[in-house]
Chains A and B, each alone.
Chain A
Amino acid sequence: MIAHALTFGFLCLGLAMACNVFRLVRGPTTVDRILAFDTLTVNAITLIILFGIRETSDLYFEAALLLAMVGFVSTVAYCKFLLRSDIVE
């Protein structure tokens, strides 16, 4: 059962990430692209967790944790750059 659920999960995530990258490339605005990037980060975190479940290993959990904790910083920095041009002021 879990194997099927995982396959389904991977399928969905793969589709989602493809959509993200499509939006990233197409735009049309920069804000679209940043949003796509942020969603991509969230999907990546999920992907790592799912992969850990499939491999039945907790070794990969830290990577997901770290990405969850610091991944948003890049998004914030991208946005701040658009808003203020200077990200540390």
Chain B
Amino acid sequence: MSDIVESLQPRFEGLEPRPSADHPSVQCPVKFLLPLIECLRDEFDYSMLMDVTAVDWDKESPRFSTVYHLFSIANCRYIRVVTNCEDDENPSVPSISALFPAADWHERETFDMFGIRFEGHPDLRRILMWDEYPYHPLRKEFPLAGIETELPDAEVAEETDAKMLAAPMMGGPFVSKGGEPMSKSEPRAADESWTEWKKKPSLEKE
């Protein structure tokens, strides 16, 4: 356990070191998130917020964790802060965008992709998908191919009858049709003059 985690522990009750393959990492109770990030910024010189993201643990509870990476330019080191969202159905955590303006877009993206609400965010809108999009694509139950939806501009969609279609998955990694030979479910070469069902053409006349 690194000394930074040790020096933080007495000040924030319930702060636990988190297993990590590289940087110091702490698991923070959600009520201490703002004070902890502020303390790291002001007292431990973590002057840059590099990244905010979330992980969907699928069937586990708590289901969503948000992950923050802070970087200290003075000491050239990182720290990872992880906090669990309280509600699995309507997850929410406090927003840190008042402490780091950089969090603004990162939190919008996390909201867009996971549906985690950041309480106190000044402008929590979708950022990568359009505003009316109904799903949160990085949740584990969302299929890779996507789900058929209406396009954002209703009048254009009506005129053109256009829709967002689910992507064809055939030929993708880990995808094969059950019960059929592999070569049938894979992308084929244009030239099928001989296959496993058709005999190889030979020069000899039959």
A and B held together in a complex: no
